[in-house]
Amino acid sequence: MQSEEFFTSCYQIRLIWAPIKECINILEARSASLADCFIQMIKLAVSIFRLPSSNPYKANAIQIFNCRYLEFQYPTYLLYYYLHPNYQGIVFYLFFYIIIKIY
pTM of the shown model: 0.65
Residue range 55-89, pLDDT digits in tens: 888 888 889 888 888 887 777 777 776 676 666 56
Based on the structure, what is the number of domains in the chain?
1
pLDDT for 20 beyond 60:
yes
d(CA 86, CA 35): 9
Residue type at position 72: F
pLDDT for 34 beyond 70:
yes
- DSSP character for 33? -
Question: In terms of C-beta density within 10 A (0-12 exposed, 13-18 middle, 19 or more buried), how is residue 56 classed?
Answer: exposed
- DSSP character for 89? S
d(CA 75, CA 96): 12
Predicted pLDDT at 99: 57
Residue range(s) defining the domain that contains residue 34: 3-102
